Structure 1
Amino acid sequence: MAEPGDDPVARIFQKTAAQMAANPNMEISTLRACLEVFHTVCTESTDVTYQEEPNAGTCKGLWEIPVAAKDSSNVILYFQGRRNLYLCNNGGGGFVTNTTSSHRRMVGHLAKASNCKALSLEYRLAPEAQFPAQIDDASNGRDSAGGNLATAVVLKLRELGEPLPAAIIGFSPWYDVEFTTGTIETNSSTDALVQKDTLANMRTMFLGDHDAKDPLANILNADPKGLPPMYLAAGGYETLLDSTTKFAEKAREVGVDVTWRTLENVGNWVQEKFGKA
């Protein structure tokens, strides 16, 4: 495993963390601008086309379509839950930042590796829209924080008796908004960006006065029984590491098919699990 901090993404994280530390009262617009540049260190994926989705309701939608998968019936919803959907996270950002632009290139690579179409959706952001606006956007079909939301949406769809997606994919999901797990503290020196104080500020913007114990907000409190297969991944140096591992263990105990990885190719998992239909 590479040492933390020796890659281009980590350097962007470190620069952003330094800017935030130097300006703890940074305006939301400035914070969003800082976190919008991740795509600059990601290459363009070849043989992938991009087009806006005009029928995404109040959300902005962007299709990433690999040429080889243009006729596929499977869709990765990067960030709704219908059949033939793999529900992924929306790039995190603590429910406060990030857009389809900041993760366009990465999602293009994911779509190509999975041999699926991908649809990136921008749900409403906090603090302008607080919990449960983000879940409402997704579960009503108006379409890291994203990993949390990808799971919360399926929990909400289960509650509503709606069809569930084929799978849930969560990259470094922020399942523990109460900070009860250990790596939020023990990995603070090796995580380039995500720190407890930062998350606490984002939690306030996201939840407002809402109870942080709500299982649709704090996913560790949710009952995972009946969820579709899950692919969960997080880095060994991340503060959110055991937020992910604890939920994976809880889901496995009730029979959910959970694949837990640190540095694996999720595209291979999608193809092996669901084929190329």
Structure 2
Amino acid sequence: MHADEIHPQARAAMASQVDLSRLRRFGPKPLRLLARVANRWENRNPPEVGDVTDRTVPGPAGAIPVRVYRPRGGGPSPTVVFFHGGGFVLRSLESHDVLCRRLVRESDCTVVSVDYRLAPEHPFPAAVEDAYAATEWTAENADRLDSDGGLAVAGDSAGGTLAAVVSLMAADRGGPDVDHQTLVYPAVGANERRESVERHAGTVLSKEDLAWFRDCYFESDVDRRNPYADPMHARDCSGVAPATVVTAGFDPLRDGGAAYAERLVSEGISVRFENYEDMVHGFATMYEVDRSRELVADVAADLREAFESKSESESKSDTAGGGDA
């Protein structure tokens, strides 16, 4: 499931990244500071979209910051609630600003990017609670967002896990209605016995890095087995939304993501799975890498198809039921 070698663009991007293994002993705060500096450079010429608004939405522990990106052209559009990666410890709205803008441009969807609470200051289930609350707010405020009613969840890495968990929670709790889930190299089903961990730990993420993120996020082993921490532990996934699952060939998390895609298929969920064989963990935000743009175009096409299918289904239902008369 991996190419003979890492793509040269991805290897060059890796060389310019902060060495997490050397700096994590100082704790998350210095790493977040370094990230803010890097984000200012990355975001200096952002892709244009119709409108960008920072606001807050109600959460279980107070206001949750979100950033709402609207497509150009006006008119109602489907909405994607996006959760950034970073091991539940790092990264922010700023780290994924360019990615969200690209997604808006490619999909013609409104994107609501969620600045959920981070560990270790706010361990599990804080991020999950914020992610679900933000999704509920988005569904309940379709008019305010000029939404046409279409709703998807998406995220990369830890954010991909949150998107999967929100889809599971929505199925368990009877809403909100999620039409699609986009999981980009999600941190699901991960354990050290998987072949991808054995072969590729040390490429972007080492075993020690994975353990550090885990120890920051979870306060006990019991939490780790919670299905809202990792939906691979859920008894039943048959009610979750159709999914796009993306993995990277040289990613330690690859096999966990692939296993979750297989599980969803086995429980009757429509899944498009794609493994970018020559890529590494985090390539979606390696903006100088061509595959990053290809990824956004691919997942945006899946979102458009999902929303178009929903619209067609609703139209057939209205016709069969005689419309609103």
Q: Please give the TM-score of this superposition, normalised by the length of structure 2.
A: 0.72
Amino acid at match of 2:303: V
Amino acid at match of 1:62: R
Match of 2:100 in 1: 107
Match of 1:216 in 2: 228
Maintained 8 Å contact 1:177/1:203: no
Secondary structure at 2:183 match in 1: strand
Whose radius of gyration is greater, 1 or 2?
Answer: 2
Distance verdict in 2 for CA 1:73–1:47, change over 3 Å: closer
Q: Deviations over 1:105-129 (max 9, x none)?
A: 1110011101101010111000011
Find the aligned partners of 1:243 and 1:35 in 2 and give their Cα distance: 27
Amino acid at match of 2:247: A
Match of 1:273 in 2: 306
Amino acid at match of 1:25: R
Match of 1:31 in 2: 31
Maintained 8 Å contact 2:183/2:245: yes
Maintained 8 Å contact 1:251/1:258: yes
Maintained 8 Å contact 2:21/2:206: no
Amino acid at match of 1:51: T
Matched, 1:77 2:90: no
Amino acid at match of 1:133: A
Maintained 8 Å contact 2:196/2:252: yes
Matched, 1:238 2:271: no
Matched, 1:184 2:189: no
Match of 1:85 in 2: none
Matched, 1:156 2:158: no
Match of 1:229 in 2: 242
Find the aligned partners of 1:239 and 1:39 in 2 and give their Cα distance: 29
Q: What is the RMSD of the two structures over their aligned residues, measured on CA atoms?
A: 2.6
Maintained 8 Å contact 1:177/1:217: no
Match of 1:86 in 2: none
Distance verdict in 2 for CA 1:56–1:64, change over 3 Å: farther
Matched, 1:251 2:256: no
Q: Cα offset for 1:44?
A: 2.2
Secondary structure at 2:226 match in 1: coil
Distance verdict in 2 for CA 1:229–1:136, change over 3 Å: same
Matched, 1:201 2:212: yes
Q: Cα offset for 1:29?
A: 0.9
Q: Cα offset for 1:178?
A: 3.8
Matched, 1:6 2:8: yes
Find the aligned partners of 1:10 and 1:275 in 2 and give their Cα distance: 37
Distance verdict in 2 for CA 1:112–1:210, change over 3 Å: same
Distance verdict in 2 for CA 1:2–1:50, change over 3 Å: farther
Maintained 8 Å contact 2:21/2:208: no
Find the aligned partners of 1:52 and 1:258 in 2 and give their Cα distance: 33
Q: Deviations over 1:254-276 (max 9, x none)?
A: 10011111345111121223239
Q: Percent identity?
A: 23
Q: Deviations over 1:136-190 (max 9, x none)?
A: 112234871111111112222222222331111011100034434220121235x
Distance verdict in 2 for CA 1:164–1:210, change over 3 Å: farther
**Number of aligned positions between the proteins:** 261
Structure 1: tracts of 5 or more residues without a match: 80-89
Find the aligned partners of 2:70 and 2:219 in 1 and give their Cα distance: 37
Secondary structure at 1:59 match in 2: strand
Secondary structure at 1:104 match in 2: helix
Q: Cα offset for 1:15?
A: 4.5
Match of 2:153 in 1: none
Query: Per residue, is there more helix in 1 or in 2?
Result: 2
Maintained 8 Å contact 1:147/1:174: yes
Greater alpha carbon shift after TM alignment, 135-144 vs 33-42: 33-42
Greater alpha carbon shift after TM alignment, 196-205 vs 139-148: 139-148
Find the aligned partners of 2:227 and 2:262 in 1 and give their Cα distance: 17
